[in-house]
Amino acid sequence: MKHTADYRVYYEDTDAVGIMYHANFISFCERGRSEMLRAIGYPASETLEKLKVGFVVRHIDCDFLTMVKLDDLLTVETTVKEMKNTSFLMSQNIVCQNKVAFSMDITLVCMSPDGKPDRIPDLLRKKFDDFQI
């Protein structure tokens, strides 16, 4: 199963000619991951408190496939591709008008409060199982 979240492209997201600025694709994906965490009961604001871990980006591999413009409605699709001991790989697509406009694989590392890699909590692993492909 994949998690989905919808967003509209606003003026602030675009460049001078009304095309979405490239860095905002990654920002919309961040929102999608945050909404996925919220959907499984662990909003990003509470992961440190509830699970005693946080997440940092280790690697991003992305492709810009089609243009996105002002007022377009976007759907961010998020899935989990792989779980390791301390890191996991997610795949995200931004869909616009039934076409994939942006595709990204992102590796996130689970970190302890003291900033060291930490094992992904079993509780979180179980919640991510629903979104694994």
Active site residue 15: yes
Sheet with 99-111, strands from edge to edge, namely 3-8, 73-83, 87-96, 99-111, 54-64
The angle formed by the CA atoms of residues 111, 105 and 78, to the nearest 5 degrees, is 85
Find the catalytic residue in 6, 15, 71, 130.
Answer: 15
- DSSP H/E element including 33: helix 22-39
Structure tokens given for 25? 């694709």
- Residues involved in catalysis: 15
